[in-house]
Amino acid sequence: MFKKLAPLFLLITLSSSVFAQKADDILGKWLNSSGEGQIEIYKKGDKYFGKLVWIKEPNENGKPKLDIKNPDAKLKSNPLLGLNIVKDFAYDGVKWTEGKVYDPKTGKTYSGNMSMTGLNQLNMRGYIGISLIGRTENWKRVK
């Protein structure tokens, strides 16, 4: 019986490992759900970060848009373009967890988790306290 099932088991094991997600699959540029910004996810050490590398309307009154909603007065003069908005995510073998997500539209920072659906959709979950109280955005990979 085992001899008959062994090839099937081997096939299932090999096929699942081919489709298994890898930690660095998240690297690259992603278009946020509103289509107003692109975030480049990069790795530093064993953590994952993301910075705003493109925004639909980068200027206001002929000058670069600034991080005016930031609660830290010293940071309000920083340009939005190049701003790190995804910080300190760690890959746990299934998803990226225990990071922070900054929303420059509100100036608020949220705890976050990220997961992928295939190679071209990133599910960014921002929350306060527990993951049940939050919101998920679907980002699309920029090719």
Chain segment 5-40, per-residue pLDDT in tens: 445 444 444 333 334 689 999 999 999 999 999 999
pLDDT number for residue 15 = 37
DSSP 38: E
Please report which residue ranges of the chain form alpha helices under DSSP H. Answer: 2-19
pLDDT number for residue 13 = 40
Look at the chain and report how many structural domains it folds into: 1
Residue 88 resides in a domain: yes
Residue 64 resides in a domain: yes
DSSP 104: T
- For residues 79 and 68, give the distance between their C-alpha atoms in angstroms, rounded to a whole number: 9
pLDDT number for residue 8 = 43
CB atoms within 10 A of CB 128: 11
- For residues 113 and 27, give the distance between their C-alpha atoms in angstroms, rounded to a whole number: 15
Residue 6 resides in a domain: no
Question: How distant, in Å, are the alpha carbons of 40, 56, 89, 115, 132 from that of 112?
Answer: 16, 24, 8, 10, 11
Range of the domain at 58: 23-141
- For residues 43 and 20, give the distance between their C-alpha atoms in angstroms, rounded to a whole number: 19
Residue 62 resides in a domain: yes
Residue 36 resides in a domain: yes
